[in-house]
Structure formats: C-alpha cells, structure tokens
Amino acid sequence: MAAPVAAIATQSVSGQARGAEKGSDILAMTAVDLAAAIRRRDVSSREVMKAHLARVDALNPKFNAIVSRVDGDQLLREAAAQDEDAAKGLFRGPLHGFPHAVKDTAPAQGIAHTRGSPIFRNNIATTDSLVVARMRAAGAIFTGKTNVPEFALGSHTFNPIFGVTRNAYDPSKSAGGSSGGGAVALALRLMPLADGSDFGGSLRNPAAWNNVFGFRPSFGRVPSAPSSDVFGQTFATSGPMARTVRDTALLLSVQAGSDPRAPFSLKDDPAVFTKPLDREWKQKRIGWLGDLAGALPMEPGVLDTCEKALDAFRAIGMSVDTARLDEPADAMWRTAVTLRHWSVGADLLPFADKPEQRAMMKPEAIWEVEGYRKLSARDITEAQMGRTRIYEAFRKAFEAFDFLVLPSAQVFPFDAELRWPTQIANRTMDSYHRWMEVTLPVTMAGLPALSVPAGFGGPRNLPIGMQIIGPNHADLAVLQVGHAYERASPWIGQTLPGAIRAATPRPEAHAASSVQRSNR
C-alpha cells in the first residue's frame, strides 16, 4: 500500500506546489501587470493577498518592515469582498485588491498611528489622511503600517516601539528613512507599492539603499490634508515608491490631484501619469552635480558608482556634462537647517512643552524644538530669501540642462545599530541629518526628483542611487526620463535581495520531501 499513498501524496503536494508557484508568480509581477491581471480576473484579490501575507510571514520577522499588522483572516475577507465586486464587473480603482501597508506617519482609520513615538504607542487613527483616503478609494486593502524613525526624524528607520528596520540587501545595515519600512517591503515583495513622504530625502534615500525607485513630487502635486499650516508647510510632501518607474507613476496617479483644503495643490489631471512613459531622448542634456564641486563629503565609491550609472543616459542618446549651482553649498545648508527648525520644531513644540512627553522624545527631536525656540523673525525671513536663491540657482542651471543629477545619499548603508554617521571621508557631521545634506537643496527648491538605483559599491557591495531632478512641475518628464534610464539598466530588476531567493519555493524539492515524509 506504500506506493499508492506516495502517489496520492505526490498529487496533493504537487497541487500545493503549483499554488506556491502561482504565489511566487504574483509576487514577481510589477504593480502595473498585477493590476491588469486582477482586472482580467487571471488572479483573484484573495490569491494576491494570500501570496503577500505568506511572504510577510516568511521575511518580515527578520527585516521588520511592516508593523501594526492587521489580522490576516480579516484581510482575506476584505479581499474576498473585492473578488465579489470583480465578478460583477465592479472595480474600485487601479489598486483594486492590492495589499498595502501605509507609512506610519499617515493616519489610516482603525490602524495604529504611532509616528514611531512612544507618546502615541496606543493611538488608533479615527480617520484617513487625504492620501490614504485616495489609496483606499482606489482599492488598496490596508495590511498594517510601514516602520519609520521616531517622528520621521533622520534617514535611519528605528524607534523605541518597533525597533530597527533592516536593509533588504544586508540585514546588518540600515534601511534608510524615514520611509525605510516602505522601501524594504517593496524590495522584499511584501507589497506591490509603497507610499512615503519626503522632507530631507525620506523617499529618496531608502529607495537608493534598497534598489527601488522613490519619487519626491513637485510642491503641490500631492496635497497634504489635514494640516495645521496650509500656507507655510511647503517642505514635506507625500509621494510614491515602487520597483519600476511605471509602477511609481501608477501610484502617483492615485495620490496626485487638487483638493480644496490645500490652496497650492496643482489642478493638472493626474490621469496623465497612467499614460505610456516612452519618449525620444536624443540630444537632451544631463547635468551631473556630483558632490557640488567638492563641497559635500562622499564615502569612497559613491561617486564612482553613480558616474558609471550615468552611461545609461548616454546609451539613450543624452549628453552628460558637469553642472554647477550658483548658490554655495554652505549657504544652502544654513537655509535648510533654519527652515527645518521652523517647520519641524513648531510641530513638535506641543509635546516638548509637556515634561512627561518631552521625556519620551529622542534627542534629535529636542534639538529641532530648541532650534525653533531660538529663531527670530529675521532668521526666518533671511532663510526664505535663501530658499529663493536656491530656486533661482536651479532655474539658471536648467537653462543649460534638461535634467540635473545628484547622488541620493553621501554614504552607503551603514550599520543598523548606529544612530547616524558621525563622519564621512574624515569630515565630522555636526547634526543627525548633515550626512544627508545632498537631498536638501531639492527640497528647498520644491522640484520633482526621482531616486533611481545607481548600482552596488563600497566594501560590502551595497546599493546606492541617484536623484534625477527636473524643472518646476516637470514631474511627468522626470518619470519619463527615469523610465528610459531603467530600460537602459536591466540589472535593476534582475538584482534581487538574497532573502527573496531563499524564500522562493522549489516545487520539485518540496514534493519529494513530502513524499518521503508520507512513506515513513
């Protein structure tokens, strides 16, 4: 009787293996292809959810990208409800059936909203932010939150509630931040897309360090609501992260669009981001800003890796030449620090004024608050004038170039147990974010910037990226040139984290081992 039992076991496990193989196929799809497959009903929302939850169960305990997880049975019920809608020809939007964890700086109704701070350890959101509401309406099923640094301060994702999020390519290294959980979740295929936000590079650096794409939109492209200051808060913006540029554009089409609560929100139709991104690039010009004429310290290997990646622009017919910004780097830094104190310090002041809450705030948060307390009206006025000079410096550079390119970070991913790098190339960093100085000029200018993977380098062969920067409101053009760069760089999609290869099932081996167990 042993042979028939073995045969039955083989048939049963083969079915399981085919299911596992289908799950792996789902996880390998781009978001654009997955959306099309769901709409064709080639795959069900429930199958999509099961595949992603299995991957989260397998990898998230080691990497800690997704926190405040929603009950799996509840998620499968929500997916089944979306399948019932699909059977009737009713699709909620382009994210129909997509499992999605929201960055923990944005409220999502019914899910913990901690901002990585112990002050909000037990806080449950009672409403959605504007961007979250748009993703929900587009069909996303919220599976939890993605981890962030405390109050999203710093480009290294760790906090006293959930701990450290680890790099997808080397779990001993930092994931970047503040959208570090989202970048790692993307790279490990824990979800098809990721939302994030960006002030000091929070969409750009974690994307660079995890070999994915992160897009900081133009000021006004993705409105923020609710907000306590709709006129003065023009630094941070929400935006998309994804594994391809087309996927990035897909999520931007959901996030973007005007809203009456945001007086500077752009009224362009966001559907433009769903159109093909192909375009001719011959005779267009890239300006390479490098280390801002030697002003920014760079870890050895960062510039070399990025400069090699510039060949992809040449391959699509573009010229690449050295560019300069008229505004000195030190002046841009002083402007950014003052305006960051003004923005971040004002937000954190109510907590710092309460002794019991102040005691729970990390030193970097207190530093921002105390910097804010010292500001005068003259300081802020001069910084705003400095911000105008930064914008003018970029505008002048765009008279000579169609796009500008900068590294997305000044160092490769550092040890996850560090708070932040205190030195780069023998130069001391005087604040928790000085090592990310390379991202702040773009923030101050309010320009669109796409972080694209640039390659792997340094002594441990770790990921780094570059920012493709466009003129004011040229978001679509930046995505188009990023798409062409991606097509000329096939290594990006082919270079997967080792954890994915280890987690991918091998049906033949699985079936054989199961048959052996059934015969014992």
- Please give the positions annotated as active site: 103, 178, 202
Q: Take residue 60 and report the two structure tokens written for it.
A: 């998230």
The Cα angle at residue 504 between residues 499 and 510, in degrees rounded to 5: 130
Distance between CA atoms of residues 481 and 282, nearest Å: 11
Contact 62, 166 (CB under 8 A): yes
Contact 466, 304 (CB under 8 A): no
Contact 275, 292 (CB under 8 A): no
User: Nearest-CA neighbor of 200 among 408, 453, 462?
Assistant: 408
DSSP string, 452-515: EEEEEETTTTEEEEEEEE-STT-HHHHHHHHHHHHHT-THHHH---HHHHHHS--HHHHHHHHH
Q: In DSSP terms, which residues pair with 164 in a beta bridge?
A: 158
Residues whose CB falls within 8 Å of the CB of residue 438, separated by 6 or more in sequence, listed in order: 201, 292, 296, 406, 407, 408, 409, 410, 467
Q: In DSSP terms, which residues pair with 102 in a beta bridge?
A: 145
Cis peptide upstream of residue 226 (ω within 30 degrees of 0): yes
- Residue 427, Ramachandran bin (φ over 0: left; ψ between -120 and 50: alpha; else beta): beta
Q: How many Cβ atoms from other residues are within 10 Å of residue 172's Cβ? A: 12
DSSP string, 278-333: ----TT-EEEE-TTTTTTS---TTHHHHHHHHTHHHHHTT-EEEE---SS-HHHHH
Residue whose pair of structure tokens reads 């362009």 in the numeric block: 268
Q: Take residue 234 and report the two structure tokens written for it.
A: 């023009």
Distance between CA atoms of residues 412 and 410, nearest Å: 7
Distance between CA atoms of residues 348 and 449, nearest Å: 27
Distance between CA atoms of residues 477 and 475, nearest Å: 6
Which residue type, as a one-letter code, is found at position 336? A
DSSP SS3 for 113 = coil
Residues in the chain: 520
